[in-house]
Amino acid sequence: MQSTISNFDFLAEHDPVFLQLATTAEQVFSSDPNTTLIKLRQLAEALAQNIAARTGIRIDERTSQADLLFKLNKEIRIDPTIRQIFYTLRIEGNKATHQFMTQHREAMDGL
């Protein structure tokens, strides 16, 4: 029986980048909740870009996460709960990046 290293091990079968971002977010939680949210925002970006690629939604390097989420919702009607998670990770990740003040509670909510 294999022991679980991360709560996100299931992502390994989808994309190693997803797994790396998620496990890093998880690993640094205790010592650096700010980095946790930054990594979770990056994970949300990677997931949204993957969804866009799989559904034929065209984006480029200038497409912001907000614009991408708008396009995804318009084209494929993202479930409201999932849409809210993407939105929350974008907002909280931006705060973590620019305000440097993430509390453990916000990072845990992201995880």
Q: Where are the domains of the chain?
A: 9-110
pLDDT of residue 3: 47
Domain at 9-110: CATH code: 1.20.120
**What pLDDT was estimated at residue 52?**
96
User: How do the pLDDT tens digits run along the chain, 111 residues long?
Assistant: 344 578 888 888 999 999 999 999 999 998 989 999 999 999 999 999 999 999 999 999 999 999 999 999 999 999 999 999 999 999 888 888 898 878 888 887 777
**Burial of 90: CB neighbours in 10 Å, binned 0-12, 13-18, 19+:** buried
Spatial contact of 92 and 103, defined as CB atoms under 8 Å apart: no
The answer to whether the beta carbons of residues 57 and 71 sit under 8 Å apart is yes
> What per-residue confidence (pLDDT) applies to 62?
94
